[in-house]
Amino acid sequence: MASNKQCFDKILISACFLGERVRYNGVVKSLVSQLISQWQQQGRFISVCPEVMSGLPVPRPPAEINPKTKQVLTIESVDVSQQFKKGAQLALSLCQRHDIRFALLKESSPSCGSNTIYDGSFSQKIIVGEGITTKLLRQHGIKVFSELSLAQLELLLDQ
């Protein structure tokens, strides 16, 4: 017999939100919110860190998308575009495997940003844009939200 749990929409979530040690600087920084706790208890989350899944280490040099060339470059000017694309593909595969329609990803990250990204100058400047994983997920019809739009995501779940 199907359980209620199986009726819930699953959500692809940035692993760093769940306190996993995946961020570029190795610092753990979870997203604390009542909705996050509720969705976690409901078993909705499929955790993903596209950068770590692609084989990049923790810690790793910060990387940003060059707005002109669209390459992803580290602060040392190493081109990591292929790793970022591979991470995006792996995230998409997870969504397809788990029938996921929604993702909750960290804003401004070069992989996970959904409204903004850093401007490629490594000077903490933010511009309108989306990360490599977000872009690919959206191209496949997955709706991507951030920590700033939890309420909007809640409205769409289980409809």
- What are the residues binding ligand SF4 (CB under 6 A)? 14-16, 22-23, 49-51, 106, 109, 111-112
- Closest separation in Å from C-beta 159 to ligand SF4: 26
Query: Measured in Å, how far apart are the chain's first and last C-alpha atoms?
Result: 21
Query: Quick one: 51 or 130, whose CB is closer to ligand SF4?
Result: 51
Of the pair 36, 112, the CB lying nearest ligand SF4 is at: 112
Q: DSSP assignment of 67-125, as one string?
A: TTT--EEETT--B-HHHHHHHHHHHHHHHHHHT--EEE--TB-TTT-SSEEE-SSSSS-
Residue nearer to ligand SF4 on the CB measure, 5 or 127: 127
- In whole angstroms, how close is the CB of 101 to ligand SF4 at the nearest point? 19
In order of 62, 90, 98, 132, the CA distances from 142 in angstroms are 26, 14, 12, 14
Closest distance to ligand SF4 from the beta carbon of 73 (Å): 16
Q: Shortest distance, CB of residue 13 to ligand SF4, whole angstroms?
A: 8
Q: Is 5 helix (H, G, I), strand (E, B) or coil?
A: helix
φ/ψ region of 89 (left if φ > 0, alpha if ψ in -120 to 50, else beta) reads alpha
Q: Which residue's CB is nearer to ligand SF4, number 22 or number 80?
A: 22
Q: In the complex with ligand SF4, which residue's Cβ is closer, 3 or 103?
A: 103
* Entry field: residues in the chain: 159
State the minimum distance, in angstroms, from the CB of residue 38 to ligand SF4.
Answer: 21
